[in-house]
Structure 1
Amino acid sequence: MRLTSQTVSNGVTERLFTHGGIPGALWTPADAHGPRPLVLLGHGGGQHKTAPGLLARAHRYVTRHGFAVTAIDAPGHGDRPKTAHDEQFTARLRQQMAAGEPVTALIAQDNARRATQAIPEWQATLDALQNVEDVGTAGPVGYWGVSLGSRIGMPFVAAEPRITAAVFGLVGCDTHTGDTLTDAAARLTVPVRFLLQWDDELVPREAGLALFDAIASPDKTLHANPGRHVDLPRAEMDSDERFLTHHLTGKPQSNPR
């Protein structure tokens, strides 16, 4: 792992790094020493490792709970070079959206391709982070990621025994990709929270419900809210935080007053 920059702000140390050519960010308490729980954040399509929503979530986990948090750029995103395939996908996506044509299958196919590349990248990043003194191997690991973050995260978590709980959502079963997400869901055993937008224009409701049904974990909950793909209520951030904190620390999932 090669450190490219380090800054401290509001009690949070942010370290930008590259590992195996993959750009990432690590956030820890400014006074951190010794191992601690680690939360992995998977960004959505078109975003990157330090997108505002991801950054806000990372700071909450660090300042409120003393966790370490990390995110990496997915293939073709952030500081990673874009391939000819990436450019073709973007052009076709814009064309179909402008024409009012459905884009669900196109996005699912593209995201499945990126997931195949990103899973070993996440595993290598986790290996490297656990050699960092203020992360270590002793603390439990959680995963949060929706949309593209779930396309990558579900097969990653299914294959990674170090992860103890996960939040997924804004994805569904899709026969256009060989239903790889259903296969991954059937191998999940950790506690899972699944987020679904009832009026999602990119993920048909039935596809999201079918994917939740396919999750094999005996400890799973479905959180459905009205609204489109990007309209996740802010309250879900609080709920996700309580869920992951409970499973990473053993503290009760107390509801806010």
Structure 2
Amino acid sequence: MHSLQFTHSSSSDGVTERDFLVGGVPGVLWSPSSGADRAPLVLMGHGGGNHKKHPAMAGRARLLVTGCGFHVAVLDAPGHGDRPRSEHDEREIAELFRAREAGEPEGPVVVRYNDHLARIAVPELRAALDALQELPEIGPDGPVGYFGLNMGTAIGVPFVAAEPRITAAVLGQHWPDRLAGKAKEITVPVEYAMQWDDEHIPREAALALFDAFASKEKTLHANSGRHKELPRFEADSAVRFLARHLVRPGEASGA
């Protein structure tokens, strides 16, 4: 099993940010600056073309840390952030840009490429979870959540399906192709976000993925607007959802 190697640490406004490597994969862990008690962990997945410290990741992490007292970790996905691109990455990215410039649907390229990335990323996430649970401030028995949209869902659905330690998941904004089968294996509570006027993901496709989850508790958040117009308040909703499912009875939460 790979151990966690911290490479840099900084603190501001009550949040400690620690860069780490696990099995050579770069990640970041945000934690409350005070308090040594164990707290739930949320693993997040970033979107395509972004990285572990993208403003969306840092912003959501701070909401979870300051509002709930949680720990939040993000890995750079294969070919993203501080990780080198392979020849396969370069070919798929070039094909995506070609399709975009030609006015062709992006979905087939994104679905195929994200499926390839997920096959690499899911074992990496599981190894990172092993290592993170070795930390005394997290521990092996606490609840774990997952939060990832777009490519974070493409990686998150097979990850949550394969990982029994996940207690609840926030997902959304992806096609059902190659994910619906895995979604049928997921029974934990799910909050799912979609854009009603998404120019890339047809409404019927987004609804099909939501419908595929086998969870007895699943909530659909459908907002008007295009793909990149997901309202900021959905992050607040995700925090409340995760707090509701990760905070055990009798424990305090700031959310």
Q: Do the structures match in fold with TM over 0.5?
A: yes
Could you list the structure 1 runs, at least 4 aligned residues long, displaced by more than 4 angstroms after superposition. Answer: none
Equivalent pair of 2:180/2:209 in contact (CA under 8 Å): yes
Equivalent pair of 1:39/1:141 in contact (CA under 8 Å): yes
Match of 1:9 among 3, 9, 12: 12
Aligned partners of 2:241 and 2:150: how far apart in 1? 19
Q: 2:179 aligns to what SS in structure 1?
A: helix
- Residue type matched to 2:210 in 1? F
Equivalent pair of 1:35/1:137 in contact (CA under 8 Å): no
Aligned partners of 1:147 and 1:12: how far apart in 2? 26
Aligned partners of 1:2 and 1:191: how far apart in 2? 32
- Which deviations, in whole Å up to 9, do the C-alpha atoms of 1:194-238 show, x marking residues without a partner? 111111122111111111111111110111011111111111111
Q: Give the corresponding residue for 2:235.
A: 237
Aligned partners of 1:166 and 1:157: how far apart in 2? 8
Q: Give the corresponding residue for 2:90.
A: 87
- Which deviations, in whole Å up to 9, do the C-alpha atoms of 1:161-220 show, x marking residues without a partner? 11100011001222xxxxx31111100010001111111122111111111111111110
Work out whether 1:118 is the aligned partner of 2:118.
no
Number of positions where the alignment pairs a residue of Structure 1 with one of Structure 2: 246
Equivalent pair of 1:36/1:138 in contact (CA under 8 Å): no
Work out whether 1:144 is the aligned partner of 2:142.
no
Distance 1:137 1:34, change over 3 A: farther
Q: How does 1:62-81 map to 2 (within 5 A)?
A: 62-81=65-84
Aligned partners of 2:167 and 2:48: how far apart in 1? 25
Aligned partners of 1:23 and 1:142: how far apart in 2? 20
- Which deviations, in whole Å up to 9, do the C-alpha atoms of 1:148-171 show, x marking residues without a partner? 000000111011111100011001
Q: How does 1:160-239 map to 2 (within 5 A)?
A: 160-174=163-177, 180-239=178-237
Aligned partners of 1:60 and 1:239: how far apart in 2? 11
- Residue type matched to 1:100 in 2? G
Structure 1 residue 4 displacement after superposition: 1.0
Work out whether 1:43 is the aligned partner of 2:41.
no
Percent pairwise identity: 53
Aligned partners of 1:94 and 1:112: how far apart in 2? 18
TM-score by length of 2: 0.94
Structure 1 residue 250 displacement after superposition: 4.6
Aligned partners of 1:172 and 1:148: how far apart in 2? 10
Aligned partners of 2:176 and 2:33: how far apart in 1? 41
Aligned partners of 2:110 and 2:192: how far apart in 1? 20
- Residue type matched to 2:78 in 1? P
Equivalent pair of 1:34/1:136 in contact (CA under 8 Å): no
Q: Give the corresponding residue for 2:253.
A: none
Structure 1 residue 138 displacement after superposition: 3.1
Aligned partners of 2:115 and 2:132: how far apart in 1? 25
Aligned partners of 2:156 and 2:230: how far apart in 1? 18
Aligned partners of 1:15 and 1:238: how far apart in 2? 23
Q: 1:131 aligns to what SS in structure 2?
A: coil
Equivalent pair of 1:2/1:17 in contact (CA under 8 Å): yes
Q: Which runs of 5 or more structure 2 residues have no equivalent in the other structure?
A: 250-255
- Which deviations, in whole Å up to 9, do the C-alpha atoms of 1:105-128 show, x marking residues without a partner? 111000000001100000000000
Q: 1:208 aligns to what SS in structure 2?
A: helix
TM-score by length of 1: 0.93
Q: Which runs of 5 or more structure 1 residues have no equivalent in the other structure?
A: 175-179, 252-257
- Report which stretch shifted further, 154-163 or 86-95: 86-95
